[in-house]
Amino acid sequence: MLPQFIQRSLSDYILLSKIKKQEILMKIFNTMLFTTVAIWALNIGEVPKEVTISGNNGGLVNGKAWSSSSIKGKIYLLSYVDPDKKEENKLFMEALHKKNYNINKFSSIAIINLKATWLPNFAIEKMLESKQKEYPNKIYIKDKTKYLVKEWDLKDDSSNVILFDKSGKVIYMHQGFMDKSEIDKVFKIIDGLL
């Protein structure tokens, strides 16, 4: 039989280990739960939760509300971008403009995450007004509160590219830099649908 002080220390160690194990398991569970929520926010093959960006959250360049329910009837490519990361997928956007897809079958949407940048909103809003005139068939939207980061769990401080089919289902998603093979992949999907 072990001396009593050793038995007490051993039982304290076992009890402490159980608590530590519970803490570790809770951290793992919370991480898995958060990751699962992030993964399930937008699902390939599903129409995402309907959102409307308006009022203090932002909206179209002309000040009107924008609803994701408008993403149907043709192929839509939505880019959700931090203004500081606009160069991240510049090659893709330039190639997209050169494609000159039929506007009755394809449209693009650019949602600018104004809250993600240090740049003043008025400067970005002026630039968006100019872009809207330059590309009248593209829909420009201001997100002033990271609304889609919260509602669709899009990656913040980054570039997100989402492709929707004619029924509004997500058929492709990418976050971050797109290399040539990724760009080719998107165009192959679009061309296959048109």
Burial of 123 (0-12, 13-18, 19+ CB in 10 A): exposed
Phi, psi of 140 (to 5 degrees): -105, 130
- Tokens 């990271």 found at: 146
**CATH class, range 52-193:** alpha beta
> pTM of the prediction?
0.74
Digit-coded pLDDT (tens) for 68-120: 999 999 999 999 888 787 778 888 988 988 888 999 999 999 998 888 877 77
Q: What is the sign of the dihedral through the CA atoms of 21, 22, 24 and 25?
A: positive
Work out the end-to-end distance of the chain between its first and last CA atoms, rounded to an integer number of angstroms: 81
Digit-coded pLDDT (tens) for 28-48: 555 554 444 444 478 889 999
Listed by start position, the domains of the chain span 1-40, 52-193
